[in-house]
Structure 1
Amino acid sequence: MKQLDVLDITSFEQAKVLSHELRRRILSQYTDNQVPRTAKQLADQMNLPASKVHYHVRELVKAGLLGLTGTNEVNGIVEKYYLPVAKDFRIVLKDMDTQLEGKQKIINQTLTEFRKGFLQAMAEEAENSMLDVYHLHLTASEKEELTKEIKSLGEKWHQKVKERETDEMKSQYEIVLSVYKKESD
């Protein structure tokens, strides 16, 4: 199975599966992006019951986010090895195949999970967490320029991480970036 660098999620069903916190944690276990794992290996890695992880692995496979790379029979039991179909996933709301209500549900789930993770990080290491909110008065062209710069910055760091040649210890970070027009008070 050839793994993509980035998979743009435009399907409501895939976004719904991806917005589940445990499923994102399962995908994050593949930090090396090269070593396929069984549901049991993932469960052991995460200190979770194998049945719970197996269910969520099946959901990830069904949604096309995790792919079967091979099998191995051990003592009459078939072990299935999985790998994410991409090294990174990006939900693209503007291209999503659903109405506003579906998009709102995905946004709500994503921000709820981000909030939980951010608050936990703040409780553990407040000095290493960042939340900056800017209120900007922009023209339409300035807004487009800002959006392009933010996307470019994300792509730059994605490429930098992809090209890294060191095996030094890495920590996972989440970044949520948004530019939206605020309604006038």
Structure 2
Amino acid sequence: MRGQLPSPPPPEDVLEIGAPEQFAALAHPLRQRLLFALGGRPATIRQLAGQLDAKKGNVAHHLKVLREAGLVHIAGTRQVRGGTEQYYQRTARHMVVAEPRAAGTAAMLAAFAQELDLSPAESHLTLRHLRLSPAKARELAETLAELVDAAEEVEAAEEDAEGRPLHGVLVALYQQALPPDTTGSAPVT
């Protein structure tokens, strides 16, 4: 993009989400999409509004919420036509939600659905249910994380990656909740 600042690394590699204001900030699909958009490099309100097809005032409001929650920061400024343009960046390359909450998860999935709907290319979406021991579930989670990390490292090492399309990756592994007792028997008291 024209007028883009060089991409300094975020101050942290991993940020663990846990504060109530962080969960509140994650509970809106546009804020999720802003975090997605800021995953690659810093951007201005104008650039983000154009990329996400949103109003600049709306983007500014949601960036303020994300900034107050410690999820984004101002990475730099630049003088333009008598004003100062601010470049926003995520505070960490990776954000991990140790104990996901329903509102944040719903907003993330809604943002993901919007991204998927707007994708100009064919997407891949699969849901499977597997019977796994706790050890096998941990092994699968580690393998999935390693796979995504390896793809990210390869992309970062390639010199011509800047001009390539950006792809989103959503990885989830969860244990399905047990269904309520459907045998019809009354609890023993």
Say yes or no: TM over 0.5.
yes
Report the Cα offset of residue 63 of structure 1.
1.3
Q: How far apart are 1:75 and its partner, in Å?
A: 5.4
Do the aligned partners of residues 163 and 16 (structure 1) sit closer, same or farther apart at CA in structure 2, a change above 3 Å counting?
A: farther
Question: What is the alpha-carbon distance in structure 2 between the residues aligned to residue 159 and residue 130 of structure 1?
Answer: 23
Q: What SS is found at the alignment partner of 2:93?
A: strand
In the alignment, residue 92 of structure 1 is paired with which amino acid?
A
For 2:130 and 2:70, locate their aligned partners in 1 and report how far apart those are by CA, in whole Å.
38
Question: Partner of 1:69: helix, strand, or coil?
Answer: strand
Aligned residue identity for 2:102: Q
Where do 1:15-34 residues align within 5 Å?
15-30=23-38, 32-33=40-41
1:81 matches 2:87: yes
Deviation per CA, 1:41-70, whole angstroms, max 9, x where unpaired? 332444432211111111121111221233
Deviation per CA, 1:139-160, whole angstroms, max 9, x where unpaired?
3333333333233323333333
Larger Rg: 2
| Counterpart-to-counterpart distance in 2, 1:24 and 1:64 | 14
DSSP 3-state at the match of 2:105: helix
Whether the 8 Å CA contact 2:27–2:106 is kept in 1: the answer is: no
- Counterpart of 1:99 in structure 2 is none
Task: State the Cα RMSD in Å.
Answer: 3.1
Question: Quick one: which amino acid aligns to residue 147 of structure 2?
Answer: L
Counterparts of 1:130-145 in structure 2, within 5 Å, are 130-136=125-131, 138-145=132-139
1:164-175 maps to which residues of 2 (within 5 A)?
164-167=158-161, 168-175=163-170
1:61 to 63, 67, 70: 67
| Percent of residue pairs identical | 24
Moved over 4 A (4+): 72-76, 115-118
Shift in Å at residue 26 of structure 1? Answer: 2.4
Distance apart, 1:121 and its partner CA: 6.2
Q: Judge conservation of contact 1:9–1:15 (CA < 8 Å) in 2.
A: yes
Q: Which residue pairs with 2:141 in the alignment? A: 147
- SS in structure 2 of the partner of residue 133 of structure 1: coil
Where structure 2 has 5 or more consecutive residues not aligned to the other structure, the ranges are 1-7, 183-189
1:106-145 to structure 2, matched below 5 A, reads 106-118=104-116, 120=117, 128-136=123-131, 138-145=132-139
Find the aligned partners of 1:2 and 1:140 in 2 and give their Cα distance: 35
Give the corresponding residue for 2:54: 48
Distance change in 2, residues 1:133/1:14 (3 Å): same
**CA, structure 1 residues 10+47, in 2 after alignment: closer, same or farther (shift >3 Å)?**
same
Q: Which 5+ residue runs of structure 1 have no aligned equivalent?
A: 97-102
- CA change 1:79–1:5 in 2 (3 A) is same
Could you report, residue by residue, the CA deviation over 1:76-105 in whole angstroms, capped at 9, with x for unpaired residues? 534333222223333222xx7xxxxxx233
Q: 1:80 to 1:182 in 2, by over 3 A?
A: closer
Aligned length: 171
